Structure 1
Amino acid sequence: MARGKVLAICQSGGEFVIGRDGSMSYSGGEAHAVEVTSDMKLNDFKAEISCMFNCRADTFIIKYFLPSNRKTLITISNDKDLQRMVDFSASSNTTDVYILKKVEHRTSRSVVADSGTPADAPAATLVTVDDTKRRKLCHTGWENMLNSVGQVFDGPKAFRDALHKYAIANSFTYKFIKNDGVRVTAECSAENCPWRVHASKSPAKQEFTIKKMNNIHTCRREIGKGHRLASQRWVASVIKEKLREAPNYKPREIANDLNREYGLNMKYAQAWRGKFVAKKELRNPHEEARNQLPWYCERIMETNPGSVATLQTTEDLKCHIFVSFHASLSGFEHGCRPLLFLDGICLKANKHWKLLVATAVDGESNFFPVSFSVAESETFEQWHWFLLQLKSALTMSRTVTFVSNKQNGLENAVARVFEDSYHAYCVHQLTEDFNQQVDNSLTQESKNTVLDAFQRSIYACKAEEFNECIETIKVESKGLAEWVLSTKPEFWSNAFFKGLRYGQYSSKSVETFNSWISPKYEPSVMQMIDIIRCKMMELMYTRRKSLESWSEVLTPSAKQRVEEEMTKAQGLNVICTSSSVFEVHDHLINVVNMETWECTCRRWQVGGLPCAHALAVIEQNHGFVYDYTSKYFTTEFFRLTYSLSINPIPDAGKPACSDIVDLAASCPPRIRRMVGRPKLKPADPRITIKRAVRCGKCQGYGHNKQTCKAPF
């Protein structure tokens, strides 16, 4: 092309996007080529563009890039600017020219342009990073979310959401007069303002409809007044889609965009928390688990040899994991009673997952975690898989007694996997079920009577004692007694249960695990497992250290129970019938067999510790109590329970979990100020330096001149 000429590629209808390095690229729209000479007038150039794009010359502006700079757009506003563009682009023979619509400057959302078009109507074609966010944030039509009487909504929730957006867009706050599943009435929170709306469910069509609406405000509505409605959840709903496209969307940018779009003067911390909620909602917990858990399972088995960490992925791409540390398995098999409590736990810290746990009790009757599983739901299939993994993890073959709430077919799952085991019902859950069956027509005294009788029926060791309790219940309520008999007492009463529970009838695992996993943010699956591991590691170390002060053969709690029974044994009459069989007389005659460790009261067999009748025989024969006590109550077995340690798992910087770690670290816990005057924090005595009191009269230390006793 001859010197002084350039081929201008005129583009319109697209948008600019700014890259990370600040350079801009243009996409979309249509393009036409125009030959521009150095002596061409700007009006002639605009006339050709007007014909090409069918628009008026006064509705657009012309911009272009310099050949070596795509970060700054140059505006052509006169003939000299057009000549410079030709001169600058002479070496390349072509140049890109961008036809952009003029943008009206707005002072507030309520300003209307001279042409009658609302000032907040979208007009700009140039899209920067800020404009991209704005386009995503701008929900046009919020000012008209509530129109008039007769407008229909899907339900009360949909109406409340529309009301929320309507109030924010129109810069006012409201309060509910009535708010339930059938009707919603709200009015402007400003005093004496008549604005009011009432919506309710139509009896005929069952539609939620606006029945009354006074759409007149006499209050002074100011920009930013609706900031109290901009909750964390609302902010999250507005920015969620933008955050999905731009994960590095900063809280300060969020606050600025909300201020520009809705006039909300939002604090940095509010935008920060809104982003945190949005990120949490955008997370896919199952995808996170599939990315994180394979690596973590390998690390568990690598750092804790002998441990079991099994991950299973289902056909619908969901997964569940089973974890049992070697220290827990060894402690259960060598030191704990053959008793396992099965619980399904709904975690307060993470609603997406359920925790299935198997726990035991040590010689002090303390909670001892054996294994756990994280699953998306608590079903029969999940429990069956959990029990299969538990059976393969246990190396010693002994008959185990399971205690559970019989939820989700757990009773059948235990019978299938552990065929020779015993299954008992948790008495805590059973007592709650009993309380629900108690008739409200009974007096409080009668309720106390039947509850006490039911409790005694649980711990009754003989059938005669159990039947007496049932008769007591039947006197107050025959139907209640029939319900108790229908709950299969052979699974919960000592009088009929065939297995051994050693005096343990319910578990505290639900409270313990929920207290363990109580962070201020919602943890991922891997974080939950690691929190449990850390707590278990600390628990085993603490209890192992407590052994250093023990000098008795029995554990402290077992020793105390034996001493209490020894007090009852004082004064009992013992008659020897053979070398190993004795009669013990109190208000009844009980037969004690020292070889088989049995007493006709059955408390020795049920609890594992000698009853008062057996202790009377042992004392008369000058025997040792420890020789007739279950080994699970000895200090030696307590030491075996906690002989091994759970090893730490060093952080290897797994990339898959870096986002979640960053999310947790970037959002510190929200601290709410407590009611009342803050308490003074006591000084640390290790670093406090106290100044000695010196008397101003005698110059002595330890007193002042008011208490000085020295002569004047």
Structure 2
Amino acid sequence: MFTNTVTFRQTLYKYSIRHKFSYKFKKNNTKKVIAKCKVEGCPWNITAYLIGKHSDFLRVTRFNGEHIHNAQDKLIVSYWTRANSTSPIIADTLRSTIDKSMNEIRRDLYREYDVRLTYGQAYRERGKALQDIHGCRHILYIDGCFLNGLYKETLLATSTYDVDNDLFLLAYAIVSGEIVEDWSWFLRNFKDITRSIEITLGFDRHNAIIGAVQAIFGGERHAYCYRHVKENFSAKYVKINRGQRRTSGNSKEAALKLLDAVAYPRHEEEFNIAMRNLRLFNPQLAQ
């Protein structure tokens, strides 16, 4: 008995890898799945039916587990051991032990399925498996603020949006200040909770946060808060142009419009054009 057709197909797929054969579907829909061995003349076959109109459960009604292959026929099954076919198996393994290393995954696949993967292949397939487990991109926002009441230290916090699109506080801590050591401690504790989930963090351009995020979560997936970028950019414009005569072509409003053009493109070509226009306007601001 299987909970649905997807579970049945995944189980069938793993079974075929373990027993080193390939199969083809004669029927493959939500109500009925019939599969047979790809080797011509081999009697192996399996049939599963939906058990009722108002249920997703499938019951196996027929199964012949006998294979009749010669040595030449067995060459057909080699493509089942491609690296890009292993992520469903890796996902099952990680659900029970989410922190398995690449080499542990490689050893398990070789021991249980006789599948050999390089370290790079295991890394890529582990990423696909984690995406299957965790689903969509996880975006969190982190920031700190000074406390002015009874407690005079610094509050660090991380939050996200819940299913009702309301802000939801996930974690907070009171520390001595917004320094790299305190942010690193806070984020390291938070990573112990998120474990293997790939997190995209949004934050301002505080040097301590930037350093801690790169050290704990890596630096390639994250984003700067545009409001903070815009405020810093505006202050920089004022500093560069202090004491100079303003013109309609060289105003803070014109500079901010160019910054918007840099921040919002969806394609690299649009971004490059916007950056080129900003450099022509003011190389210091572009930098």
Measure, in 2, the Cα distance between the counterparts of 1:304 and 1:329: 8
How much has 1:330 moved relative to structure 2? 3.5
Q: Please name the residue that 1:623 is paired with.
A: none
Secondary structure at the aligned position of 1:272 is classed as helix
Report Cα offsets for 1:563-614 as digits up to 9, x if no partner.
xxxxxxxxxxxxxxxxxxxxxxxxxxxxxxxxxxxxxxxxxxxxxxxxxxxx
Q: Please name the residue that 1:293 is paired with.
A: 202
C-alpha contact (below 8 Å) 1:235/1:275 kept by paired residues: no
Q: Please name the residue that 2:108 is paired with.
A: 257
Measure, in 2, the Cα distance between the counterparts of 1:245 and 1:259: 19
Measure, in 1, the Cα distance between the counterparts of 2:234 and 2:92: 49
C-alpha contact (below 8 Å) 2:24/2:36 kept by paired residues: yes
The alpha-carbon distance between structure 1 residues 302 and 242, as it changes in their structure 2 partners (threshold 3 A), is: farther
Counterpart residue identity of residue 115, structure 2:
L
How much has 1:370 moved relative to structure 2? 8.3
Measure, in 2, the Cα distance between the counterparts of 1:202 and 1:227: 33
Measure, in 2, the Cα distance between the counterparts of 1:293 and 1:646: 25
Q: Please name the residue that 1:234 is paired with.
A: 88
C-alpha contact (below 8 Å) 1:199/1:211 kept by paired residues: yes
Q: Please name the residue that 2:7 is paired with.
A: 158
Secondary structure at the aligned position of 1:245 is classed as coil
TM-score of the superposed pair, with normalisation by structure 2: 0.50
Counterpart residue identity of residue 42, structure 2:
C
Q: Please name the residue that 1:209 is paired with.
A: 59
How much has 1:237 moved relative to structure 2? 0.7
Question: Which aligned pairs between 1:538-549 and structure 2 lie closer than 5 A?
Answer: 538-543=272-277
- Of 305, 326, 332, 2:234 maps to 305
Measure, in 2, the Cα distance between the counterparts of 1:271 and 1:216: 32
Measure, in 1, the Cα distance between the counterparts of 2:284 and 2:27: 56
Measure, in 1, the Cα distance between the counterparts of 2:88 and 2:68: 27
Q: Please name the residue that 2:19 is paired with.
A: 170
The alpha-carbon distance between structure 1 residues 239 and 156, as it changes in their structure 2 partners (threshold 3 A), is: closer
Count of aligned pairs: 189
1:275 aligns with 2:129: no
Larger Rg: 1
The alpha-carbon distance between structure 1 residues 301 and 205, as it changes in their structure 2 partners (threshold 3 A), is: closer
C-alpha contact (below 8 Å) 1:244/1:282 kept by paired residues: no
Measure, in 2, the Cα distance between the counterparts of 1:180 and 1:328: 58
1:186 aligns with 2:29: no
The alpha-carbon distance between structure 1 residues 245 and 179, as it changes in their structure 2 partners (threshold 3 A), is: same
The alpha-carbon distance between structure 1 residues 177 and 243, as it changes in their structure 2 partners (threshold 3 A), is: same
- Structure with more contact order per residue of length (Cα contacts < 8 Å, sep ≥ 6): 2
C-alpha contact (below 8 Å) 1:328/1:370 kept by paired residues: no
Secondary structure at the aligned position of 1:237 is classed as helix
Measure, in 1, the Cα distance between the counterparts of 2:23 and 2:107: 24
Measure, in 2, the Cα distance between the counterparts of 1:177 and 1:646: 66
Measure, in 2, the Cα distance between the counterparts of 1:326 and 1:243: 54
Q: Please name the residue that 2:49 is paired with.
A: 200
Q: Which runs of 5+ in 2 are unaligned?
A: 143-157, 159-200, 205-223, 237-251
Aligned-residue RMSD, C-alpha: 4.2
Report Cα offsets for 1:478-518 as digits up to 9, x if no partner.
xxxxxxxxxxxxxxxxxxxxxxxxxxxxxxxxxx62x43xx
The alpha-carbon distance between structure 1 residues 544 and 205, as it changes in their structure 2 partners (threshold 3 A), is: closer
Counterpart residue identity of residue 58, structure 2:
F
Counterpart residue identity of residue 300, structure 1:
V
Q: Please name the residue that 1:70 is paired with.
A: none
The alpha-carbon distance between structure 1 residues 204 and 254, as it changes in their structure 2 partners (threshold 3 A), is: closer
How much has 1:195 moved relative to structure 2? 0.6
Identity %: 23
Q: Which runs of 5+ in 1 are unaligned?
A: 1-151, 308-324, 333-367, 373-511, 517-533, 546-641, 650-712
The alpha-carbon distance between structure 1 residues 218 and 288, as it changes in their structure 2 partners (threshold 3 A), is: farther
Secondary structure at the aligned position of 1:244 is classed as coil
C-alpha contact (below 8 Å) 2:83/2:117 kept by paired residues: no
Counterpart residue identity of residue 233, structure 2:
N
Report Cα offsets for 1:511-548 as digits up to 9, x if no partner.
x62x43xxxxxxxxxxxxxxxxx963x32343478xxx
Counterpart residue identity of residue 138, structure 2:
H
Measure, in 2, the Cα distance between the counterparts of 1:216 and 1:179: 22
How much has 1:203 moved relative to structure 2? 5.0
Measure, in 2, the Cα distance between the counterparts of 1:235 and 1:327: 55
The alpha-carbon distance between structure 1 residues 259 and 232, as it changes in their structure 2 partners (threshold 3 A), is: closer
